Structure 1
Amino acid sequence: MANRQQQNSPLAAVRIPEYRSLMIGRMVFIMGLRMMGTLVGWWIYNLTNDPLAIGLVGLSEVIPAVSLALYAGHVIDKNEKRFMILRGVLLYALCAGVLLLLSTSFAAERLSNHWIAIGVYTVIFFTGVTRAFTGPVFNVLVAHIVPKEILQNAITWNQGVWLTASVVGHAMGGLLIAHIGITGTLSVICVLILIAFFVMLQLKPKPPLHEQGEKRTWESVKEGLRFVFKTKELLGAISLDLFAVLFGGAVAMVPVFARDILHVDAIGFGWLNAASDIGSICIVIILTISPIAKQHGKKLLFAVAGFGTCIIIFGLSEFFWLSFFVLMVSGMLDGVSVVIRGTIMQLKTPDHMRGRVMSVNSMFINSSNELGQFESGVMARLLGNVPSVVFGGCMTLLVVIITWVKAPSLRKMEY
């Protein structure tokens, strides 16, 4: 009875010391990365005064991330996970160090804004390469560390840690840019990433569960793809989120709305950037205490529809607090979607295929953020800032309607 109570406890996963080390390291690491993302968007827009330039940042990262995702999944499944995560964190620290050099007065005196922007795009390209191999490993490690009976609790905590770090990173990014400038903020980012590295040194080695020496790379990759496409609920949830994020990526235009429409400074920009993550962490706390019990598919579809509605309102708003509020609500609804999808993925994926399945998910979901950023930049150039965001929200609603009609298995899904 006592063992069952421990499994049902909201703190079940965090009682595992190695899981705590992973979560602490991930929190500090994601804080640094989200600060970097906030800073790069603000920095590029001020260098170029062109909303399309923000979209090009996303494109610079998504090209290598998508191109290498399937191969990365094969590599993750056949290699030791602790080494891969530590190597990835160090490579991110190196990229942050290069951005730090580009932000200094030394670089400004010798390079034009155009060449500094080119340098930033180049660094972001290499972060995309690193992310293809590093991003999925965090989720793979969760399943290697935590027993299956408390995996749902661990997934919810994992998402809550990511969102908390994202909120703090976004908000602190804006605050630090305002008070210590871009160079000072990048110095803080470098320190945070290095702290994450030393925390994650405490993880134990995680060798592959099954040797794949006899299996060719392409055969291994196809095995992961076949699994995703045969698992209809998983495929439906991934596809829904892919198109919703692709068309509803209003957050990419926050630097433009903050400066040119809502007329706020770097601090206001930081809070707007953090608003959706604040909403997400609120809902994750609620779901940790009271998990979604039934009708998961319908709730997923309603959540994505609400997300699209919030994006439309954000695009039309000319008031800071209304914009902040609808972005926060959109984050709450997105949090519901992420928890449902993440739980389906972890529960339905065999241990020996987690790297490949997580990489497929990374290719379709995580990279859709950058594709959405690029789409938002292009549409802003073609339609204007406000119409482009409203168009994206409307397309998200259309995707939900099509999914409701064409994917009844997802609508009826429960786990």
Structure 2
Amino acid sequence: MPNKQSVPLVTISNESHPHDPYEALRYRNFRTLLGCTFVAAFAQQMISVAIGWELFERTNSALVLGGIGLAQIIPIIVLFLPSGYIVDLYSRKMIFLISLALLGAASLGLATLSALHGPLWLIYACLALMGGAQSFSSPASSVLVSQLVSEQTFENATAWRTSSGQLASVLGPASGGFLIALFSRATFVYVLSAAAFIIISLLALTLRVRSQVQPSKSTQKRSLKTVVEGLQFLGRTQVMLAAMTLDLFAVLLGGATTLLPIFAKDILQVGSIGLGWLQAAGSLGAVSMALFLAHRPPFQRAGRTLLLAITGFGLATIVFGLSHWFWLSFLMLFVLGGLDNISMLIRGTLTLVRTPDEMRGRVSAATSLFIGTSNQLGGFESGLAAQLLGPIPAVALGGVGTIVVVAAVALIWPELRRMRTIRETSENAQAAS
């Protein structure tokens, strides 16, 4: 595969630029970044399995397990505004590299505490450090793409990024579980993850990136206002706000995956093996869709496609909630994962294309926080609804709610309905900034 070392500064029109499904992968630096983010996600997935297994083995407490997510999400909530500003102000490459090194240090801490049977509060401290590192690594790696590939390649690059992330979410937990079974404890998982983080942090040093646009001196002096400019930009950019609202409420209301243990045990009656298949179905669907999207030309009716994808997400959620047949339920989860990937691709590409470079870190940090916390809140909402209504009505009504949100968004933001390609002309980009 030929390497593209430099990024052309002139955007080529789609008419004179035939679609190449592997275009983003022809940039050596993008392949390096993709490898780093895949290994990082893979290691984090292994750690999530290992830490849950180890702490439950030690304490047999559901409350302790709940503290795992809390320890990681609190730093992300606290740091999302300053992290986005720092990503815009300083070298994104170095921020990404330092974040990976901190993830490696936290993994080494977990390995030491696991070997010595260390106190619970120190384990939570390591998890909090990981959450803090993620609050910087996520926006930094997302916007680094814009400094590695040309603008017409953003959509293709986002498709490959989402594909690798979903693949890591399939392989990581399985590998973590296998290693725990092989070595009878989680310590080796932490050691292996630490080694992976250290290696990819060194690999990130080799990235050659195009210079980023710095915020103006006058903007840097207005520190508080500058930090929240990412949120203000989202509020002004109607198409991006509509896309994020759709994604947020789809996750919040369509939280069928949270209740999978109940469906596997009591409704579908397929046991732990069936539960494993159900949990893998969404990621398999997402990987398949991401690979399909990478091999197709850019969307020509992106707004309508997004609305239809979220509508389909709601319908598939309803069918899953009402299904008592395992393979139909598996198919619906597969469809959910695929449709969710369409939403991720469009939202991710919009963030790169429609945001001025000097604000991409702040906007990316804001969108990452909202979508990430909606996963946590969606799980809580689904559990509460299932407790009050039962699992079947809870999931089915969540799907209905998702469709209602699609209709509302289509009415409130007609700009989304009319949006054709995700990319826009340079004149529109200047107007938006």
The TM-score, its normalising length taken from structure 1, stands at 0.84
My pick for the range that moved more, 275-284 or 56-65, is 56-65
Counterpart of 1:22, as a letter, is L
Query: How far apart are residue 284 of structure 1 and its match?
Result: 1.2
Query: Does 2:123 align with 1:96?
Result: no
What is the 5 A alignment of 1:16-415?
A: 16-40=27-51, 57-104=68-115, 106-107=116-117, 116=120, 121-183=124-186, 184-204=188-208, 208-210=212-214, 212-214=216-218, 215=220, 216-254=222-260, 262=269, 264-265=271-272, 269-317=275-323, 320-380=326-386, 388-415=394-421
- 1:314·1:323 contact (CA, 8 Å) conserved in 2? yes
How has the CA–CA distance of structure 1 residues 372 and 39 changed in structure 2, closer, same or farther, with 3 Å as cutoff? farther
Identity of aligned residues (%): 36
How has the CA–CA distance of structure 1 residues 379 and 58 changed in structure 2, closer, same or farther, with 3 Å as cutoff? farther
Bigger relative CO (Cα 8 Å, ≥ 6 apart): 1
Aligned equivalents of 1:179, 1:203: Cα separation in 2: 36
Query: How far apart are residue 121 of structure 1 and its match?
Result: 4.9
- 1:55·1:378 contact (CA, 8 Å) conserved in 2? no
How has the CA–CA distance of structure 1 residues 5 and 159 changed in structure 2, closer, same or farther, with 3 Å as cutoff? farther
Aligned equivalents of 2:122, 2:271: Cα separation in 1: 28
SS of equivalent to 1:8? coil
My pick for the range that moved more, 139-148 or 322-331, is 322-331
My pick for the range that moved more, 347-356 or 248-257, is 248-257
- 2:242·2:416 contact (CA, 8 Å) conserved in 1? yes
- 1:51·1:253 contact (CA, 8 Å) conserved in 2? no
- 2:252·2:378 contact (CA, 8 Å) conserved in 1? yes
Aligned equivalents of 1:46, 1:260: Cα separation in 2: 25
SS of equivalent to 2:228? helix
1:74-111 Cα offsets, whole Å, 9 max, x none, are 1111111122111111222233334444545x52xx87
SS of equivalent to 2:208? coil
- 1:242·1:365 contact (CA, 8 Å) conserved in 2? yes
Aligned equivalents of 1:317, 1:175: Cα separation in 2: 31
Q: Which has the higher helix share?
A: 1
- 2:246·2:409 contact (CA, 8 Å) conserved in 1? yes
1:322-352 Cα offsets, whole Å, 9 max, x none, are 4433222111111111111122221111111
Q: How many equivalent residue pairs?
A: 405
Aligned equivalents of 2:309, 2:93: Cα separation in 1: 35
How has the CA–CA distance of structure 1 residues 149 and 206 changed in structure 2, closer, same or farther, with 3 Å as cutoff? closer
My pick for the range that moved more, 300-309 or 95-104, is 95-104
Unpaired runs of 5+ residues, structure 2, are 1-11, 422-433
- 2:81·2:365 contact (CA, 8 Å) conserved in 1? yes
Query: How far apart are residue 49 of structure 1 and its match?
Result: 7.0
Aligned equivalents of 1:352, 1:320: Cα separation in 2: 49
Query: How far apart are residue 23 of structure 1 and its match?
Result: 0.8
Counterpart of 2:104, as a letter, is A
